[in-house]
Structure formats: structure tokens, C-alpha cells
Structure 1
Amino acid sequence: MAESSTGLQPDQVLDASGLHCPLPLLKAKQALAGLAAGQLLEVRASDTGSWRDMAAFTEQSGHTMEARTQEGETYIFWIRKAGDGRP
């Protein structure tokens, strides 16, 4: 996969643009479920609530928010899947 502007190389990219809350978060959870521990998911969303939702989700779930940025009206998140049997 191509490197992002952050230098991070996602294992999977999820485009949730155009979806409204809570769908970007639900789609991200589904995508993370399909990844192996330590893999990186890039999520792109246009819903302003996703900025808060993704941060709260990673804090509660044990996954790691490697970076997040805003490009125009698109919010981009890089979430590393937790390991050690965590959800």
C-alpha cells in the first residue's frame, strides 16, 4: 500500500465518506475485526462526529490511534489493532 502523508502504511483503507454517525464507527469496528493484531487501519470519514467518536472508541477499546488529521471536509484516522487478545 502507498504511504500516507503521515508516513504510516495502512494494511487496509476504509472509506466511510458520506456515511453519517454512527456508521463510520461501526464500519471501522467491522474492519478492525478482520485485521490481525498490530495491523493498521486507515479510516476516511466526512461526518464531523467521527473526530470525537474514533478517539473515544480507541481509548475504550485498547486499539491505538496512531494519527488523525483533517483534509478539507475529510477526517482521516490511523488505528492500530490491539493485540494480546483484546477486542
Structure 2
Amino acid sequence: MEIYDLRGLNCPLPVLKTQRKLRDMPSGASLWVETSDPLAAIDMPHFCAESGHALVEMVATAGGHRFLIRKG
């Protein structure tokens, strides 16, 4: 499964780039997103809930967070 590396980007870029990436994927596809922005822990779950995507897993990493998102 692909890991979309968005480390080094600050809010709102991780959410905007994830939104754009998911737009080109088929419904039901999954994507790991890796971020270093501390606000992504708040923004990414909110984005998924508002957009109809499933946040399957959220993992804290040494430099930020990793999110497993399934496109709705």
C-alpha cells in the first residue's frame, strides 16, 4: 500500500494534498498518509468525517503521525 509522504508541510497543506490525492483514487481504496505537522492529528480526522472517508487507523510516529484512510 502506498505511503503518501507529506512530512515537512504545515496546515492546511497535508489535508489539501490528501484531498487531491483521494480524488483520483477509486472508492474503497486505502492510503497511508504520513505527516509531521502536529495539527494534522486534529485536522485529518475532521477532514475524513466531513468528507465521508473512513479513518481506519491513526498512529503516532517519532516525527508526527501516520493515518490510514479508506476513501468513501
Do these two structures clear the TM 0.5 threshold for a shared fold by scoring above it? yes
Q: For residue 31 of structure 1, what is the aligned residue in structure 2?
A: 21
Who wins on radius of gyration, i.e. which is larger? 1
Higher relative contact order (CA 8 A, sep 6+): 2
TM-score by length of 2: 0.95
Q: Distance in 2 between matches of 1:49 and 1:71?
A: 14
Q: Distance in 2 between matches of 1:57 and 1:76?
A: 15
Aligned residues: 72
Cα RMSD between the aligned structures?
0.8
Gaps of 5+ in 2: none
Percent identity of paired positions between Structure 1 and Structure 2: 35
TM-score by length of 1: 0.79
Q: Does 1:14 align with 2:4?
A: yes
Gaps of 5+ in 1: 1-9, 83-87
2:67 to 50, 63, 77: 77
4+ long deviations beyond 3 Å: none
